[in-house]
């Protein structure tokens, strides 16, 4: 297979263990292009989500139907490299912050959904200081009673924001965004724990941990109670090594109204 690198406006789809992921030269440009093409969903794929998708058909279907699947985790980048596909890791938290900057500069309307009440309040305070021109039209924490969600969803549908970040955890955020984005012109993206980091209630792994590709270990040390989640990592590595020669052939992801080279 030819080695593929990523650049502005192109988007080529590959698969890791049968789960799709896109190679782009400029991930931010590709994400903005989703909005230009009429809106859609962005998924940030790591090893843990890849393994979850293999056992959760609903999540797998959401990822397969997403307009852009970003190689968020080092494991996914490594698995692609074994196929001869060279891409840079694109952390979802960085892509999301880039989109907020773009949204502020271009007067996009923005909605934030998820995280704990105190996290959402602190996040809004930070955004007022650092992104004072941001058009934040909707913000709601995720700790709501079940009967409150239909009203929230109706509000979002009426607002039809340009950009919606959802922090409800995997796979709930992906499934919820997929259901709500229908007939919406905006970009919907699950952001996991990004709100917590932006609000300052949790710390992101330092750069040295990122360079060594052990951010997962830093997160584990912060939240050891979630140790079961990390059992997916050795399973992912083993599965890639065993099944690497059986990867599905690459295909191009044709974005709406945009040619993919």
8 Å CB contact between 99 and 188:
no
Residue 182 confidence (pLDDT)? 84
- R_g over Cα of the chain: 18
**pTM, full prediction:** 0.85
- In three-state secondary structure terms, 159 is helix
Above 70 in pLDDT, residue 258? no
Q: Nearest 5°: phi and psi at 244?
A: -55, -35
Q: What is the pLDDT of residues 107-158, one digit of tens each?
A: 999 999 999 999 999 999 999 999 999 999 999 999 999 999 999 999 999 9
Q: What is the pLDDT of residues 168-224, one digit of tens each?
A: 999 999 999 999 998 789 999 999 999 999 999 987 655 644 554 556 555 655 665
For 55, the token pair is: 């056992």
> Pairing state of beta strands 68-71 and 12-16?
unpaired
Above 80 in pLDDT, residue 255? no
Q: What span, in angstroms and rounded, lies between the C-alpha atoms of 1 and 23?
A: 14
CATH architecture of 13-202: 3-Layer(aba) Sandwich (3.40)
Contacts 24+ apart (CB under 8 A), 59-62: 59/170, 59/171, 59/174, 59/175, 60/19, 62/171, 62/174, 62/175, 62/178
Contacts 24+ apart (CB under 8 A), 199-208: 199/115, 199/119, 199/120, 199/122, 199/123, 199/126, 200/122, 200/126, 201/116, 201/118, 201/119, 201/122, 204/93
8 Å CB contact between 115 and 142:
yes
DSSP state of 14: E
Q: What span, in angstroms and rounded, lies between the C-alpha atoms of 65 and 61?
A: 6
Residue 143 confidence (pLDDT)? 97
Q: What is the pLDDT of residues 54-92, one digit of tens each?
A: 999 999 999 999 999 999 999 999 999 999 999 999 999
From edge to edge, which strands make up the β-sheet containing 40-45? 68-71, 40-45, 187-190, 163-167, 109-114, 135-140
């Amino acid at each position: 297979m030819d080695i593929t690198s990523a650049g502005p406006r192109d988007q080529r789809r590959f698969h890791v263990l049968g789960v799709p992921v896109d190679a782009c030269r400029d991930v931010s440009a590709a994400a903005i292009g989703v909005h230009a093409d009429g809106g859609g969903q962005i998924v940030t794929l790591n090893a843990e989500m890849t393994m979850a998708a293999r056992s959760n058909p609903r999540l797998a279907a959401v990822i397969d139907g997403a307009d852009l699947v970003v190689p968020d985790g080092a494991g996914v980048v490594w698995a692609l490299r074994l196929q001869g596909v060279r891409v840079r890791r694109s952390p979802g938290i960085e892509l999301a912050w880039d989109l907020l900057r773009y949204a502020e500069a271009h007067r996009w309307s923005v909605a934030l959904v998820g995280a704990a009440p105190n996290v959402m309040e602190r996040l809004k305070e930070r955004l007022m200081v650092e992104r004072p021109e941001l058009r934040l039209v909707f913000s709601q924490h995720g700790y709501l009673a079940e009967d409150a969600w239909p009203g929230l969803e109706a509000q979002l549908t009426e607002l039809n924001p340009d950009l919606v970040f959802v922090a409800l955890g995997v796979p709930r955020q992906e499934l919820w965004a997929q259901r709500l984005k229908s007939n919406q012109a905006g970009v919907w993206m699950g952001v996991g724990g990004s709100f917590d980091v932006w609000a300052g209630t949790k710390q992101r792994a330092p750069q040295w941990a990122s360079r060594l590709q052990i951010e997962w270990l830093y997160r584990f040390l912060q939240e050891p109670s979630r140790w079961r989640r990390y059992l997916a990592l050795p399973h992912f590595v083993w599965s890639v090594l065993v099944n690497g020669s059986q990867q599905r052939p690459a295909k191009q992801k044709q974005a709406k109204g945009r040619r993919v080279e």
